[in-house]
Amino acid sequence: MPLRSGPLIVPAAVMKRLPMYYRYLHALVEEGVERLSSQELSGRMGISSSQLRQDLNCFGEFGQQGYGYRIADLYQAMCQILGVEKRYKAVLVGVGNLGKALINYEGFRRRGLVVIGLFDSDENIIGQEINGLTVNNIRKLGEFIKQEQVEVGVITTPAKAAQEVADILAAGGVKGIWNFAPQPITASPEIIVENTHIGDGLLNLFYKLKEK
Amino acid sequence: MPLRSGPLIVPAAVMKRLPMYYRYLHALVEEGVERLSSQELSGRMGISSSQLRQDLNCFGEFGQQGYGYRIADLYQAMCQILGVEKRYKAVLVGVGNLGKALINYEGFRRRGLVVIGLFDSDENIIGQEINGLTVNNIRKLGEFIKQEQVEVGVITTPAKAAQEVADILAAGGVKGIWNFAPQPITASPEIIVENTHIGDGLLNLFYKLKEK
DNA sequence: TAGATTGTTAATCGATTAACAATC
DNA sequence: TAGATTGTTAATCGATTAACAATC
């Protein structure tokens, strides 16, 4: 079950499918499924068996001819590929409903996101305790990041505040920013920014509904 | 500024970019930007000008040679293309933090999602009032959908409940389901299912962080 | 071993980019 | 008009699928 060594060339299209593989494999492990062929596995995911085998081949040889894939092993490998076994210290800025939803979602902790600080600018929210963490005043954000060596910042503020928060995060030295504000944010190129636009899914749905 | 008529052939890759176009154009209209060339516009979006022009060409001719694109007009056209001017009656099932976040997000209303019913199975949540709507017992869901002719169901329940809710929605006659549960749900093929997996963005971020 | 299924190559298909004539 | 920029075609590039030899 060897992971390829050396610099990998992973096509962008493959990279985008990795989170899906992670999700399905996790669920299959939970279900206790031991073994699946590329055909059975890809069938559940709605892709071709050819594509599944081709994709996995970027990273190594995880199957066994004549037998298929051991799900537990493949899940392990996928965790390694994605770097999920690593833990990232994170702060979350903007403790509204979306922020609270993310803090409470155990899936994020499982993926390796450890939220150690919550921040907001609203006096009514500052001081609240959520999941064992007290919401701090956003003025303390910059200092906190440096002190605690925070690596990832999650932005769940309203659109207007997003860029300002991103600047504080960047100045504090985070390596990555996960942004939920609809406005895209800019940061220096060495900081990795991942934008999640929840509303996009709705437009996809509407477009498909209209097509019919 | 004519929209092409007749059956459009829209490549899947183009379709996936439409929500991004909508987002940027909406922001530019708000900013009051009147005119941009394909180069300026695509530059902001991080794509090539060639691609932008090629994409728009699937739907019609929206620019003016030697001048560029009138942003307000292009935004209008994009709304039409996406079917955003239409209003969809919706119910939301699962009034936890994520559900509340969606209910309060004005962007969804702007996109045409009109939530007229909230449902949950938790006795502590049933009866709460959110945004002028009272949370109902999930047992009333099926009846409500039929009575009100609900078209879209939003699922923000825990993973375990998602499929059961989807079945009720389908039986009630919704046309589309927007699912946030990490578990993919199945429904008969005439119902359009859009899955939004919030956790995927985090894995993308981790993968890129690991690459560096 | 014989059957099954992988890993991998080659062929096809689709998406992106480059280039430029058309035209505002 | 001259300059700018589109719409659109052709060329390139990348991703998916098909097929099969390798092998468990």
CA dist B31 and B17 (Å) reads: 21
For residue B48, pLDDT beyond 70: yes
Å from A140 to nearest chain B CA? 25
Q: What is the DSSP letter of B6?
A: S
Q: Which nucleotides of D are covered by protein (CB under 7 A)?
A: 2-9, 14-19, 22-24
Q: What confidence score (pLDDT) does residue B4 get?
A: 74
Same CATH fold assignment for domains A12-82 and A88-200: no
Q: What confidence score (pLDDT) does residue A13 get?
A: 97
A102: left (phi over 0), alpha (psi -120 to 50) or beta: alpha
Q: A207 and B101: CB-CB below 8 Å?
A: no
Q: What confidence score (pLDDT) does residue B3 get?
A: 76
Q: What confidence score (pLDDT) does residue B146 get?
A: 98
Low-confidence ranges of chain A (pLDDT < 70): 1-2, 6-7
Q: Render B177-195 in DSSP notation, one character per residue.
A: EEE-SSS-----TTSEEEE
For residue B142, pLDDT beyond 80: yes
Q: How does the average pLDDT of chain A come out, rounded?
A: 94
Put simply, whether B173 touches A (Cβ < 8 Å) is no
Q: What confidence score (pLDDT) does residue A149 get?
A: 98
Q: Which of A82, A96, A98 sits opposite B206 (nearest CB)?
A: A82
Q: CA torsion A103→A104→A107→A110, rounded to 10°?
A: 70
Q: B85: pLDDT confidence band, cut at 50, 70 and 90? A: confident
Q: What confidence score (pLDDT) does residue A126 get?
A: 98
pLDDT tens-digit series, residues B19-29: 999 999 999 99
pLDDT (average), residues B18-42: 97
Q: B152 and A15: CB-CB below 8 Å?
A: no
Domain-wise residue ranges, chain B: 12-80, 88-200
Instruction: Indicate the CATH number for domain B88-200.
Output: 3.40.50.720
CA dist B13 and A18 (Å) reads: 18
Q: Is the minimum distance from the CB of A53 to strand D below 7 Å?
A: yes
For residue B6, pLDDT beyond 70: no
Distance of B65 CA from D8 C1′ (whole Å): 13
Q: Where are the beta strands (DSSP E) in B79-174?
A: 88-93, 113-120, 129-130, 133-137, 152-155
Q: Looking at chain B from residue 94 to 113, which residues have their Cβ under 8 Å from any Cβ of chain A? A: 96-98, 100-102, 104-105, 107-108, 111-113
pLDDT (average), residues B115-140: 97
For residue B37, pLDDT beyond 70: yes
Residues of B in Cβ contact (< 8 Å) with A108: 199, 202
> Cα–Cα distances in Å, from B151 out to B137, B165, B172, B174, B193?
19, 15, 9, 4, 12
Q: What confidence score (pLDDT) does residue A16 get?
A: 96
Instruction: Indicate the CATH number for domain A12-82.
Output: 1.10.10.10
Q: Which CATH architecture has domain B12-80?
A: Orthogonal Bundle (1.10)
Q: Looking at chain A from residue 9 to 68, which residues have their Cβ under 8 Å from any Cβ of chain B? A: 15-16, 18-20, 22-23, 27
pLDDT tens-digit series, residues B92-111: 999 999 999 999 988 889 99
